[in-house]
Amino acid sequence: GQNIDQPTEMTATEGAIVQINCTYQTSGFNGLFWYQQHAGEAPTFLSYNVLDGLEEKGRFSSFLSRSKGYSYLLLKELQMKDSASYLCAVRDSNYQLIWGAGTKLIIKP
């Protein structure tokens, strides 16, 4: 079966760095997405990785290793507004998006 695993919840301190991991087992691979979702709102796009390596976009970076079925989202200089759920999703060989359950990130002062 297809599966996306990510931690349920993480806690970090304002100003620090946090890494949210995502591992996947899917039938084929056509890209991995990270989305941020604040409570009660729709998800917003953060990053898209289809090739191995690190993609940096401001305070956020996303890494992909296709051979390991592994990705992480790195958030630097954490701000209180970064408190949200972070969703990992993989597009399989049928171009269907398989979603992880999301990681709730709690930022403490």
Partner 1 sequence: GAVVSQHPSWVICKSGTSVKIECRSLDFQATTMFWYRQFPKQSLMLMATSNEGSKATYEQGVEKDKFLINHASLTLSTLTVTSAHPEDSSFYICSASSGDVGELFFGEGSRLTVL
Binding residues vs partner 1 (CB under 8 A): 30-31, 33, 35, 40-45, 48, 50, 87, 91, 96-97, 99-102
User: How far apart are the C-alpha atoms of 96 and 45, rounded to whole Å?
Assistant: 17
Q: How far is the CB of 42 from partner 1 (least distance, A)?
A: 4
Q: Supply the minimum distance, in Å, between the C-beta of residue 22 and partner 1.
A: 12
Query: Smaller CB distance to partner 1: residue 40 or 109?
Result: 40
Q: Compute the least distance from the CB of residue 97 to partner 1, in Å.
A: 7
* DSSP symbol at 82: G
Residue with tokens 């999703």: 89
Nearer to partner 1, 43 or 69 (CB): 43
Exposure string for 58-96, b = 16+ CB within 10 A, e = fewer: eebbbbbeeeebebbbebeebeeebbbbbbbbbbbeeee
